[in-house]
Amino acid sequence: MFRFDAHSFLSFSNAGKRSLIKPLFVIIIFLVLTLALQLANAQTRIGIKAGVNLSTLSISNTGAGNEDTNYLLGAQFGLTLNKPVFDHWSLQLGLIYREMGFSSERGANGFNARGFKVRADYFSLPFHLLYHVNFRSAKFFIGLGPYVVYGVGGRWRSDDPVAIGDIIVGKTGSVGFTNDSSEGIFESYTYGRPLDYGLTSLVGLEIKERLSLQFNGDFGMANLMPRFANYQPQGKLKNSSFGLALGFKF
């Protein structure tokens, strides 16, 4: 084996340039929906939330079989818009940053090392239809709806230097998203396709219409396995996550 200097191999690429504008379409959609809700009803309230996120990436039916991945703890925070629609019913739209990913004891997708951890940066647009039940000065709520997320980057690290075949690339590197993995950088871990979608659930308790404790679960439906040039590899990559957060409405 010989040692590979990941930092001097490729420091920048066209894919890296494109990643700088990837969050823009999510932010534009959120701003448009924000304006629409504000114009529709003055009762729309802005909120903030912050907490932790427990996530994993399911890697199945690949040529090497299923790969063992474990949950990884990360952060989540962002903004919410809350609009009452009927008695006991409301709509909630969010723009949330989520740190997602997974850990593996032996690596994944050709990155072979002990204690392999991948942290991926996502911007999420969850949309919940909530049902509220009043309980004295508090409200219990439960909701369900769709979500869309977009991956914009991240980092990987490991306890041992990662071996890709006969090449050693070190203990840390970048995480990338692409629809075509033939365009990837050698030492950058390709997490999958950037656009994901699925179902999201939300359960929580709100006190005095201000402070809330929220538990969310997100279940990805899209297969994130990218193609390689004109070839679509077998296998499935799917996100799933659970989160706990504190929220506050203004």
Structure tokens at 164: 């890709």
The answer to whether residues 197 and 149 touch, using CB atoms and an 8 Å cutoff, is yes
**In this predicted structure, what is the pLDDT of residue 11?**
36
Q: Which amino acid is at 49?
A: K
For 188-226, what is each residue's pLDDT tens digit?
A: 899 999 999 999 999 999 999 999 999 999 999 999 999
Burial of 83 (0-12, 13-18, 19+ CB in 10 A): middle
- Domains of the chain, by residue range, sit at 2-249
The answer to whether residues 214 and 203 touch, using CB atoms and an 8 Å cutoff, is yes
For 1-16, what is each residue's pLDDT tens digit?
A: 434 444 333 333 444 4
Q: Which amino acid is at 116?
A: F
DSSP string, 91-158: EEEEEEEEEEEEEESSEETTEE-TTEEEEEEEEEEEEEEEEEEEETTEEEEEEEEEEEEEEEEEEEE-
Say how far apart CA 133 and CA 161 lie, in whole Å.
Answer: 53
Q: Is the pTM of this model over 0.85?
A: no
Q: 2-249 architecture in CATH?
A: Beta Barrel (2.40)
